[in-house]
Amino acid sequence: MDYFFQQLINGLVLGSIYGLIAIGYTMVYGIVGMINFAHGDIFMIGGFIALITFLILVSIGLTMVPVILLLVLLVAMAVTALYGWTVERIAYRPLRQSFRLAPMLSAIGMSFVLSNFAQVSQGARVKPVPPIITGGYTLHDSGNFAVQLSNVQIVVVATTIVLLAVFSYIVARTRFGRDMRACEQDQTMAALLGVDVDRTISMTFVIGAALAAVAGMMYLLYYGLVDFFMGFIAGIKAFTAAVLGGIGSLPGAMLGGLAIGLIETFWSAYFSVEYKDVAAFSILIVVLIFMPTGLLGRPEVEKV
């Protein structure tokens, strides 16, 4: 039972990271109807930016951990958001009126560009960082197995919850959130009513990238390493999460992320680590076959 609870905690932490990435997918899919293949690599870039910022802050003599974390978070979000904006501007905006396959291939190309840019500029080797947040609590000790809750896990989940609250507020209550939802429903009509569609779409990419940067930083804190290839698998899994939750639905993305995190953790714990990715992808296939709209998605009505 203790083992189960430990895996539950681990799964929820991993799921929070997937959920943060999945929101970027689901937002972009909702507004422009394309799979942003480069989003996983945006997450990877976020991890790198966080690593580099952390290294600089430590080497200039900053020692207060909360201050460092906050600064790293802000820098990573800002710079990664700029990456998101640039990707949309260069690779997707010129193709917005094009046929469906073109932006998808352009996105795959952009994904190669980003991951290989990271490889060329930062080297192919895995970059480890020493644990930044240490310590934790023992929740329950049954003698031979102790359920641990580390401080890193608390930080990851707490940051996710706070950011989700801020993000939900932005989507539900602000002018930008209204614009975004309007563009999602009908871009032409939104434009006629004075919504700057281009700017709204850009902002969607910016916010999605900022959340992916947070996920990248959390990944760095939690696993203590980044490498240039981590975006691909994480990206597919996060997309799986978005589909599982119902693409286009923001709470669905978070729910899907948690589900994928839990499935992956339990699968590794009880069956085999080697096939954990196979498990996640099989879930994707099974969900799409039996529940194509996902957990919270709306059914798509097809018109002829």
Partner 1 sequence: MAFILKKAAISALVALGLFFLMIGIRTEAGSSGQLIYWTRFGELAAMVGAVFAGSIVIELLRRWIGPVGGVELPAGVRATFATLGRLLAPALLIFALLVPVIFYKERYLLDLGILVLTYVMLGWGLNIVVGLAGLLDLGYVAFYAVGAYSYALLAQSPLPLPHLVDGFPFVAFSMEQLGPWAFWVLLPVSGLLAALWGVILGFPVLRLRGDYLAIVTLAFGEIIRLVILNWQDLTGGPNGISGIPRPTVFGIPLTPGEHGFAAMIGVPFSPTHRLVFLFYLILALALLTNWATIRLRRLPIGRAWEAMREDEVACRALGINITTTKLSAFAIGAMFGGFAGAFFATRQGFISPESFTFQESALVLAIVVLGGMGSQLGVALAAIAMIGGFELFRGLDQFRMLVFGGVMVLLMIWRPRGLIGHRAPTVFLQKRTEISSSLVKEGHG
Nearer to partner 1, 3 or 275 (CB): 275
CB 274 within 8 A of CB 267: no
Q: Which is nearer to partner 1, 118 or 203 (CB)?
A: 118
Instruction: Decide whether 100 or 175 has the Cβ nearer to partner 1.
Output: 100
The nearest distance, CB 153 to partner 1, in angstroms, is: 23
> Alpha-carbon Rg of the chain, whole angstroms?
19
Q: How far is the CB of 108 from partner 1 (least distance, A)?
A: 5
Q: Rounded distance, CA 67 to CA 130, Å? A: 17
Binding residues vs partner 1 (CB under 8 A)? 29, 34-35, 45, 48-49, 51-53, 55-56, 59, 75, 79, 82-83, 86, 90-91, 94-95, 98-106, 108-123, 125-130, 232, 236, 239-240, 243, 274-275, 277-278, 281-282, 284-285, 288-289, 292, 302, 304
- 212 in Cβ contact with 195 (< 8 Å): no
Shortest distance, position 186 Cβ to partner 1, whole Å: 18
**In this complex, which beta carbon is closest to partner 1, that of residue 130 or of residue 135?**
130
Q: Minimum Å distance from CB 234 to partner 1?
A: 13
Kindly state the helix (H) or strand (E) to which residue 223 belongs, with its residue range: helix 197-223
CB-wise, 67 or 278, nearer to partner 1? 278
Which residue lies nearer to partner 1 by CB, 111 or 187?
Answer: 111
Nearest approach, Cβ of 286 to partner 1 (angstroms)?
8
Question: SS3 breakdown of the chain: % helix, strand, coil, rounded to 5?
Answer: 75, 5, 20
Minimum CB distance to partner 1, residue 251 (Å): 20
Token pair belonging to 35: 């799979």
Between CA 153 and CA 159 the distance in angstroms is: 10
Contact 49, 79 (CB under 8 A): yes
Output 72 or 215, the one with its CB closest to partner 1: 72
- Give least dist CB 189 to partner 1, A: 21
Tokens of 235: 């990206």
Q: What tokens were used for 109?
A: 């190309």
Distance CA 269, CA 76 (A): 32
Q: Which residues lie across from 146 on neighbouring strands?
A: 141
Shortest Cβ 90–partner 1 spacing (Å): 7
| Pair type for strands 136-141 and 146-150 | antiparallel
> Which is closer to partner 1, CB of 8 or CB of 129?
129
C-alpha span between 77 and 71 (Å, rounded): 10
Q: Would the CA dihedral through 128, 134, 135, 140 be positive or negative?
A: negative
Measure the CA–CA gap between 172 and 67, rounded to whole angstroms.
30
